[in-house]
Chain A
Amino acid sequence: MSESASPRRTEDEADAESADADESESADAASEDGAAEPNPVRTGAQAVIAALERAGAETLFGVQGGAIMPVYDALYDSELRHVMMAHEQAAAHAADAYGIVSGTPGVCLATSGPGATNLATGLADASMDSDPMVALTGQVPTNFVGSDAFQETDTTGMTAPITKHNYFAQTADEAGPTVGEAFELAAEGRPGPTLVDLPKDVTNAQTAADPGEPATPETYNPATEADAESVAAAARTLERAEKPVILAGGGVVKGDASEELRAFAREYGIPVATSMPAVGVYPEDDELAMEMVGMHGTGYANMATTHCDVLFAIGCRFDDRLTGGVETFAPEAEVVHVDIDPAEISKNVKADVAVVGDAGTVLEQVGAEMERAPDAEAWREQCREWKAEYPMDYQTPDDEPLKPQFVVEALDEATDDDAIVTTGVGQHQMWAVQYWTFTQPRTWVSSHGLGTMGYGLPAAIGAKLAAPDQQVVAVEGDGSFLMTLQELAVAVRENLDITVAVLNNEYIGMVRQWQDAFFEGRHSASEYDWCPEFDKIAEAFGAQGFAVSDYDEVADAVEAAMAYDGPSVIDFRIDPDANVYPMVPSGGANGEFALEEGQL
């Protein structure tokens, strides 16, 4: 983003004036104080960086630009690791993935105007998935705000609906404490993205204010522990259940409650289904695992949730992709809903028992309150039968193009249990979640609520920086990869050992699938008449490239890509007609999932 003078006044003039003003004010304050050890006088930007360091930030993702330059100047003297991204959207996704994998907020930086608007997709994505993230945006100097100045947008106005909370730093004194608060708030309670808009005169001005210890605002007090009455009601409801199901949501990941969930489910013999953000919290190879429920969930998970009599939902928000039509979602179940955010309870599905608290704490509380396990042997047997009746399976005849499911299984085979999978959005995302066997939390990093194509590669960059010792595989589609593949430049520059597996069918595949099912096969703007060769693109960026179109090349290419020390891209030319099943049509009944197109 280039910098140019405003027609009315130059920014430098404005900056100089306000810096003078602030300096004299702080000097006055210091002399009145008469304290022996005055706080160091520094710029607002230096206070911002100090606040980030104090809050425990380690890695930042961003793009330079005019209004954020003072912050970058302060960063020059800092130990914080900054990763310069190719596009601000990718900076936000990388920070988002960093937050998912590490559990501490990822930080992204952008300049005013186009920098801030480019962050918006990533903010909305993090907001929908409750991921901890902090965005710092430059803003035009305060005396230009509202004048439609060069590279000005109303960033706080624009991002209010897509952030957990946002701030406009009015003075250099408040810049540091505000950033500290934004960092704490992003991770506290139900996580989410926060944003601090930093006008250039504020970051240039001098301040002697001590940022203090970062703390959340006084008005934000989420309850961790649930009240005894609701815990008792939950325990009694579960004890008398005959057909119980646990529905684990992303809150179990965010609350680091995977261990508590596993212990609880096994002790009381309750089958576990997960929402997509919760994939990995319960090992998918366990006998109680029903895996993912919803539109492209397993047949057995959808049968179990449809027929259960008690649904113990923990940290999930009953998104429409999970529930299908709410009229037919777990229609006979008493719903026990645990969430740290009271506003999620009874938002989409009415809770019979509402339990407000942190997932892990509540699981321990309910466990301590339970007097017996539910009498559910017949139900567990029924769930086992459904698993046998509706297996996740696919065909691999030798004379047909490569099946995407086979590729996913090959990648899973070649990687460790704690390998991290990131994805874009579309058919490839669904094959990845269906055919990879996840056993660990924070190893599935995807765009769930917003469904952002292009998420996979920048997310892989964020994930690798959060967990340098874990293998990272980005499963991408051709359409999704095309949206953010410029970030290969970053992966190469930072020498990140990530593998991008493109499931290339030369279609916007999920759209094509819906066109086949619901628009009489009219492939309007879903087919790529021409698609670039991704292996060659990888090489142009300085990464390693592979192209695979036959079954017998898959294992070797995966092995070579994993062995390569740096980013590699495998262009898997898959069956262009492969579709994702099972499928619940939008708004349909989960129990009526289709196993093939003819059943839709």
Chain B
Amino acid sequence: MTGGLQGPAPEERPQPTGRRNAQGERIDPEAHAEQDTRKAVVSALVEHEPGVLAKVSGLFSRRQFNIESLTVGSTTVEGHARITLVVEETDAGIDQIKKQVEKLVPVIAVGELDDDAVRAELVLLKVRGEEPDKVHAITQMYEGQTLDAGPRTITVQITGDHQKIDDAVDAFRQFGIIEIARTGQTALSRGDTPTTPGESPAASAESTVNQTDLQIQKETSDDD
């Protein structure tokens, strides 16, 4: 014990000239621009057990990751489900998302899909039924199906990529859209590449799962 804390004051100390950006990356402060965000499709293979969807979606909300869409469905392997997430983040953010999701105990594997992955989305549109012929024409133009037609409303289904669905919704606006139900994107990798690393699908010629039949699985369903 002498005279308390000593030493040069902050402004008298040497200071480094380097800097990091908000992501903690060393940068050239003169030349650096902030990282741009990009859209990524992340596929997580999970144990199909109660609470798994809540754990995954809770992770996104508490870590403030921007989640654009999320779909869940069973796979060819009993007891496994696939969660497909579309997110928009910086590269560092996407890397964190993959690692944080992978860390959850019921998660088996996580992969990010390439740009050429097969992706699809489904929309149900209920429009006014005054002009059935025109509605039918637009439905055909988008290779959709009419699921219900009555004197006052017509309900159609369109599947396809995100842009096609957006375009279809725009095209149907002229009739007056009453209701829309839209799934998020779901996706699989192209060719032999597994959608998540190390994924080994059950070798079944007659899969009971219809991959286009997208349903958000209720966590309390009988399968659980």
Q: Which of A342, A349, A389, A396 contacts B1 (CB 8 A)?
A: A396
Chain B residues, CB < 8 A from A596 = 4-5
B30 CB to nearest A CB, Å: 14
- Inter-subunit contact A160/B58 (CB<8 Å): yes
User: With A161-B62, A596-B5 known to touch, is A327 a contact of B10 (CB < 8 Å)?
Assistant: no
- Inter-subunit contact A217/B105 (CB<8 Å): yes
Chain A residues, CB < 8 A from B25 = 350
Chain A residues, CB < 8 A from B19 = 327-328, 331
Whether a CB of chain A sits under 8 angstroms from the CB of B207 is no
- Inter-subunit contact B16/A219 (CB<8 Å): no
Chain B residues, CB < 8 A from A519 = none
- Inter-subunit contact B6/A346 (CB<8 Å): no
Give Cα distance in the complex from A161 to B7, angstroms: 43
A430 CB to nearest B CB, Å: 13
In the complex, identify which listed stretch (B69-77, B91-99, B121-129) lies at the interface while the others stay far away.
B91-99
- Inter-subunit contact B5/A393 (CB<8 Å): yes
The contact string, 1 if C-beta is below 8 Å from chain B, for chain A 389-433, is 111111110000000011000000000000000000000000000
Chain A residues, CB < 8 A from B1 = 393-396, 405-406
Whether a CB of chain A sits under 8 angstroms from the CB of B13 is yes
B57 CB to nearest A CB, Å: 10
Whether a CB of chain B sits under 8 angstroms from the CB of A341 is yes
Whether a CB of chain B sits under 8 angstroms from the CB of A511 is no
The contact string, 1 if C-beta is below 8 Å from chain B, for chain A 195-217, is 00000000000000000000001
A415 CB to nearest B CB, Å: 20
Give Cα distance in the complex from A591 to B9, angstroms: 10
- Inter-subunit contact B13/A591 (CB<8 Å): yes
- Inter-subunit contact A393/B4 (CB<8 Å): yes
The contact string, 1 if C-beta is below 8 Å from chain A, for chain B 99-121, is 11011111110000000000000
Interface residues on A, range: 35 or more
- Inter-subunit contact A307/B14 (CB<8 Å): yes
Whether a CB of chain B sits under 8 angstroms from the CB of A165 is yes
Whether a CB of chain A sits under 8 angstroms from the CB of B201 is no
The contact string, 1 if C-beta is below 8 Å from chain A, for chain B 34-78, is 000000000000010011001100110010000000000000000
Give Cα distance in the complex from A589 to B16, angstroms: 11
Chain A residues, CB < 8 A from B18 = 331-332
Chain B residues, CB < 8 A from A76 = none
- Inter-subunit contact B5/A595 (CB<8 Å): yes
Give Cα distance in the complex from A164 to B25, angstroms: 28
- Inter-subunit contact A599/B10 (CB<8 Å): yes
Q: Which of B15, B16, B22, B59 contacts A326 (CB 8 A)?
A: B22
Chain A residues, CB < 8 A from B6 = 389-391, 393, 595
User: With A219-B105, A395-B3 known to touch, is A329 a contact of B8 (CB < 8 Å)?
Assistant: no
- Inter-subunit contact B51/A156 (CB<8 Å): yes
User: With A307-B16, A393-B6 known to touch, is A219 a contact of B23 (CB < 8 Å)?
Assistant: no
- Inter-subunit contact A341/B103 (CB<8 Å): yes
Instruction: Identify the closest chain B residue to A323 (Cβ).
Output: B24
Whether a CB of chain A sits under 8 angstroms from the CB of B21 is yes
- Inter-subunit contact B5/A394 (CB<8 Å): yes
- Inter-subunit contact B24/A349 (CB<8 Å): yes
Q: Which of B4, B7, B55 contacts A299 (CB 8 A)?
A: B7
Chain B residues, CB < 8 A from A347 = 96
Whether a CB of chain A sits under 8 angstroms from the CB of B182 is no
Whether a CB of chain A sits under 8 angstroms from the CB of B221 is no
Whether a CB of chain A sits under 8 angstroms from the CB of B26 is yes
- Inter-subunit contact B21/A327 (CB<8 Å): yes
Whether a CB of chain A sits under 8 angstroms from the CB of B20 is yes
Chain A residues, CB < 8 A from B55 = 160
A229 CB to nearest B CB, Å: 18
Chain A residues, CB < 8 A from B107 = 219
Whether a CB of chain B sits under 8 angstroms from the CB of A348 is yes
Give Cα distance in the complex from A160 to B15, angstroms: 43
Q: Which of A185, A348, A581, A591 contacts B16 (CB 8 A)?
A: A591
- Inter-subunit contact A157/B54 (CB<8 Å): yes
Whether a CB of chain B sits under 8 angstroms from the CB of A104 is no
Chain B residues, CB < 8 A from A137 = none
- Inter-subunit contact B51/A160 (CB<8 Å): yes
Chain A residues, CB < 8 A from B204 = none
The contact string, 1 if C-beta is below 8 Å from chain B, for chain A 331-342, is 111100000011
- Inter-subunit contact A219/B47 (CB<8 Å): yes
Chain A residues, CB < 8 A from B106 = 217, 219
A386 CB to nearest B CB, Å: 8
- Inter-subunit contact A346/B24 (CB<8 Å): yes
- Inter-subunit contact A389/B24 (CB<8 Å): no
Chain B residues, CB < 8 A from A572 = none
Instruction: Identify the closest chain B residue to A342 (Cβ).
Output: B99
A-B contact pairs, 10 of them (CB 8 A): A331-B20, A332-B26, A345-B99, A389-B8, A390-B7, A391-B6, A406-B1, A581-B5, A592-B13, A595-B9
Extra A-B contacts (7), CB below 8 Å, given A219-B106, A349-B24, A592-B13: A160-B55, A303-B13, A345-B99, A389-B7, A390-B6, A393-B4, A591-B10
* 10 tightest A-B CB contacts, nearest first: A331-B18, A349-B24, A332-B18, A343-B99, A390-B7, A350-B25, A592-B10, A165-B105, A595-B5, A350-B24
Residues of B whose CB lies within 8 Å of any CB of A are 1-10, 13-26, 47, 50-51, 54-55, 58-59, 62, 92, 95-96, 99-100, 102-108
Residues of A whose CB lies within 8 Å of any CB of B are 156-157, 160-161, 164-165, 168, 185, 217, 219-220, 299, 303, 306-307, 318, 326-329, 331-334, 341-343, 345-350, 352, 389-396, 405-406, 581-582, 589, 591-596, 599
